[in-house]
Amino acid sequence: MNILGTGIIFSRGLGVAALENALRAGWQPPDEIDLPRSAGLKRLVYQVNLDAVPDKTLLKKNRRSDKLSKMAVLAAADALADSGIAQTADKRIGIILSTAFGAHVTTFDFLDGILDYGEANVSPTTFSNSVHNAAAAYISSSLNIKGPTLSITQFRFSFQSALQLASAWLQQGRCDYVLAGAVDQYGAVLGYVADQKLCSAPDGKIKPFTFSPTCHVPGEGAAFFLLGKAGPENMYCSVTAIHTGAEPDNPNPPDIDIIDADGMLPDESAYIAALRHGIPATSYSPVFGSMMITSAFNIAAGALMLRNQSCYAAPVLDNPHNIRLLSESGKRAMKQIRCTGYNCYGDKSVIYLGRD
Amino acid sequence: MLITGLGVISAAGNNLSETLDSFASGQRNCGPLTLFPSQLPYPVFEVKNLPDNYYLEGRRTLSLAMIAVDQALADARLSDIPKYRIGVCLGTTVASQLNDLQFYMTYREKNSAPMTAADRFLKGNLAEYVSRRIGARGPQLTVVNACSSGTDAIGVALSWLKSDLCDIVIAGGADELNHIPYCGFSSLGIVNPGLCAPFDRDRKGLNLGEGAGIMIIEKQSVAKIRGVTSDLFLAGFGASGDAYHLTAPSPEGIGLKASLRSALAEAGIQPGEIAFINAHGTGTLDNDLVEGNVLADIFGQAVKMLSTKGYTGHTLGAAGGIEAAFTAAGLRYGWIPASAGFENRDEAIPLSPVGEKTSVSGQYAISTSLAFGGNNAAVLLGLENIK
């Protein structure tokens, strides 16, 4: 299965060019936002600014949708456009949207409606947007995609599951292409929950290689990929393996190890054992913010590096365990990148990206 | 792929045997809402007498799921879970949201709230919970495709097995009655203040329900190793989007037609080989009109068809799992119940559901789901030894 197009929206903008610029520039401080009903209290968040999206066509088309759906539509459309595949109307394209928390912000808006106006006076539009598969439905209608459309949630490994299923769909001929991706939105309530359970980074800096104690900075955004069996010359790379659970031995060591460490677990020491000795390691969570779906964003970075045969230095280099970090950006011959993640149960996921 | 186990719980019965009794007698267990306080007047199909040993405070969907999972595992004689690569793919709507009204009220008022509800949510991902609870070591996935979630989950199971991601899949759906859909569907103006009447001329909307429906689906080779067999098999699946509207189906039923054709193609059979169809049949004006016309278009006006939502209500993410299990039972036992609530033919719909308990014979049957967002899905089940 090959990555033919990448679409991304995050706090630093929309599109692969924004991704490239952000990876090149490295860490930047997050936004400081006011907490609702808490005079003077702030939270550091990597927030998406939809007002900064230059082309408003899709935003206008989806004006009644919530922010989660808008981000998903923009990233999915971006991935399709980035692939350069023309005439998609006659192609069977599937959609797999993965998310950890879905439309939770809109769900709380709906609860506001019940509490403020009573059960009989809630908004049908808010309810419709609160349904988990609304975002995928907006992608389908905005891009006129009529293939199988699936929304899935698995907290930390949602995106890995999406890739695994996309590969099966392509293999079985259920689709010609699959738009698979991940989206999550920051919200004040889950921000509060995260504050109760995790340590917030006081300086706004996620330190992926500190491992314990960890600190997080909430992020939001969407990353989508157009996946296909055949790959044109300009494709990004192949997804050569996806493992959840045990990782079989791979005799070919990766050129770079990317880890999903982002402070969303109180202890991320498991990554130490997962890293291969001598292989330069990196993590781009300090660029995107902490998200359960962070692997989708790291995969976007990995795919870009393989296509461009250029690497980007780890954005935060705090390194108390003396891991060999990818400390410099620049041209680099690479054939394989490994992306590793862990969930709260200690289960491991591994995605291999390759380019010959 | 063999279907070696079935488990089901809904207002129609706490297991398949009780359900078939309700079907045979035409009993409809719909009544006033008792699970949470509400000012809205709509009746619901609640599951009664949940066994104490399955009670999980604040996580009713998981309780319902585990009841059906345990039934299905027992039916499949599958106890040595760690020995096989068992995947878990389940659909839901309610269990995927942090939607605890009390938690949110407290948070709004005090800017803080106890973490109990959040903890339940974070440890309550449906597939993840079931997988951990039984010790499965295959892939796990929670499908949140609104009302087609359960059907889509069975489709994912078929894909997993065909791609050798696992040997056996526990697939289906589970959902509890919850405040958000109860108010939400009411706001859409599609809830019936009386009993739902799928495909009836005078239908006035749906009733909400709850429950779980589970299938154990496995490779024939694995079933052979386990020393089990089954007359039921999963023959095909199809899913397509309408790309039309968030809350209304495409008037031409584009996505449903494509889903049905995909399922038939995967099974390698013709529409004429279908013994009966367990339709989505919610009892709403739009759904039944579109679905009835599509089914007549593809299968002809004489095809035997029913909706079982007159016995269960619309169980949302569970519906596809529950109705696939009912479809399997219909094939196996050779009869389907009267499509409860149907009395008068709608002239705009070229076919009518069965009005009484009806014998069916044939090797194949279909269960359909139409969902929010224009999702359409169809599973095609087969019977090895036709009665």
Contacting B residues, span 68-107, partner chain A, CB-CB under 8 Å: 93, 96-99, 101, 104-105, 107
In chain A, which residues have their Cβ closer than 8 Å to the Cβ of B185?
127
Which residue do the tokens 């009267």 mark? B338
In chain B, which residues have their Cβ closer than 8 Å to the Cβ of A129?
246
Helical (H) or strand (E) element with B236: strand B232-241
List, in sequence order, every residue forming a beta bridge with A182; answer none if it has no partner. Answer: A98, A223
Q: Is B245 at the interface with chain A, CB within 8 A?
A: yes
Instruction: Mark out the alpha helices in B172-318 (DSSP H runs).
Output: 179-187, 220-226, 254-267, 285-299, 309-312
Alpha-carbon gap: B349 to the closest alpha carbon of chain A (Å): 25
DSSP letters along B43-82, please?
A: -EE------GGG--TT-HHHHHHHHHHHHHHHHTT---GG
**C-alpha atoms less than 13 angstroms from C-alpha of B119 in its C-beta half-sphere:** 7
In chain A, which residues have their Cβ closer than 8 Å to the Cβ of B244?
141
H, E, C per residue of B73-128: HHHCCCCCHHHCCEEEEEECCHHHCCCCHHHHHHHHHHCCCCCHHHHHHHCCCHHH
- CB pairs A-B closer than 8 Å: 196
Contacting B residues, span 262-321, partner chain A, CB-CB under 8 Å: 262
The residue ranges of every structural domain in chain B are: 2-383
Q: At what angle do helices A294-308 and A158-171 cross, to 10 degrees?
A: 60
- The verdict on a CB contact (< 8 Å) between A122 and B93 is no
Structure tokens at B262: 């995909």
The range of the structural domain enclosing residue A319 comes to 2-354
- The verdict on a CB contact (< 8 Å) between B246 and A141 is yes
Q: Which of A80, A131, A242, A293 to mutate to test the interface with B (most CBs of B within 10 A)?
A: A131
Comparing CA positions, the residue from A176, A200, A187, A182 lying closest to residue A349 is: A182
What pLDDT was estimated at residue B86? 97
- The verdict on a CB contact (< 8 Å) between A131 and B145 is no
Please identify every residue of B annotated as catalytic: 147, 280, 314
Classify residue A263 by its DSSP letter. S
Q: What is the pLDDT of residues B202-213, one digit of tens each?
A: 999 999 999 999
Helical (H) or strand (E) element with B2: strand B2-10
In chain B, which residues have their Cβ closer than 8 Å to the Cβ of A196?
115, 118
- The verdict on a CB contact (< 8 Å) between A161 and B140 is yes
Which residue do the tokens 């909706």 mark? B307
In chain A, which residues have their Cβ closer than 8 Å to the Cβ of B320?
none
In chain B, which residues have their Cβ closer than 8 Å to the Cβ of A95?
241
Contacting B residues, span 102-161, partner chain A, CB-CB under 8 Å: 104-105, 107-108, 111-113, 115, 118, 122, 125, 127-128, 132, 137, 139-146, 152, 155-156, 159-160
Contacting B residues, span 329-368, partner chain A, CB-CB under 8 Å: none
Within 8 A by CB and 6+ apart from B179, the residues are: A114, B36, B38, B99, B101
Q: What is the pLDDT of residues B329-345, one digit of tens each?
A: 999 999 999 999 999 99
- The verdict on a CB contact (< 8 Å) between A190 and B246 is no
Cβ–Cβ < 8 Å for B22, B12: yes
Instruction: Mark out the alpha helices in B247-387 (DSSP H runs).
Output: 254-267, 285-299, 309-312, 319-333
Within 8 A by CB and 6+ apart from B283, the residues are: B192, B196, B197, B198, B199, B200, B203, B204, B205, B206, B207, B307, B309, B310, B314, B341
- The verdict on a CB contact (< 8 Å) between A132 and B146 is yes
Structure tokens at B328: 């399997």
Cis peptide before B251 (omega within 30 of 0): no
What pLDDT was estimated at residue B96? 85
Strands (E), chain A: 2-10, 13-14, 31-34, 42-45, 93-99, 149-153, 177-184, 221-228, 237-244, 256-259, 281-282, 310-311, 330-331, 336-342, 348-354
- The verdict on a CB contact (< 8 Å) between A122 and B241 is no
The end-to-end CA distance of chain A, in Å, is: 14
Which residue do the tokens 């069975």 mark? B154
- The verdict on a CB contact (< 8 Å) between A133 and B245 is no
Alpha-carbon gap: A211 to the closest alpha carbon of chain B (Å): 22
Comparing CA positions, the residue from B176, B190, B125 lying closest to residue B315 is: B176
What pLDDT was estimated at residue B34? 97
Of residues A38, A148, A154, nearest to B141 (C-beta): A154
Predicted complex ipTM: 0.96
Profile chain A (356 residues) by mean pLDDT over runs of 10 residues: 97 97 97 85 95 94 96 97 83 96 96 96 95 96 94 93 97 96 96 94 96 96 95 88 82 93 95 91 98 97 97 96 95 96 93 94
DSSP letters along A145-199, please?
A: --S-EEEEE-GGGHHHHHHHHHHHHHHTTS-SEEEEEEEE---HHHHHHHHHHS-
Helical (H) or strand (E) element with B6: strand B2-10
Alpha-carbon gap: B335 to the closest alpha carbon of chain A (Å): 31
Q: How many domains does chain A have?
A: 1
What pLDDT was estimated at residue B283? 97
Q: What is the pLDDT of residues B142-172, one digit of tens each?
A: 999 999 999 999 999 999 999 999 999 999 9
Tens of pLDDT, residue by residue, chain B (387 residues): 999 999 999 999 999 999 999 999 999 999 999 999 999 999 999 999 999 999 999 999 999 999 999 999 999 999 999 999 999 999 999 888 898 999 999 999 998 999 999 999 999 999 999 999 999 999 999 999 999 999 999 999 999 999 999 999 999 999 999 999 999 999 999 999 999 999 999 999 999 999 999 999 999 999 999 999 999 999 999 999 988 888 888 899 999 999 999 999 999 999 999 999 999 999 999 999 999 999 999 999 999 999 999 999 999 999 999 999 999 999 999 999 999 999 999 999 999 999 999 999 999 999 999 998 899 999 999 999 755
**Topology (CATH level 3) of domain B2-383:** Peroxisomal Thiolase; Chain A, domain 1 (3.40.47)
Indicate left, alpha or beta for A40 from its phi (over 0: left) and psi (-120 to 50: alpha).
left
Classify residue A269 by its DSSP letter. T
CATH number at residue A308: 3.40.47.10
CA-nearest residue to A146 within chain B is B241
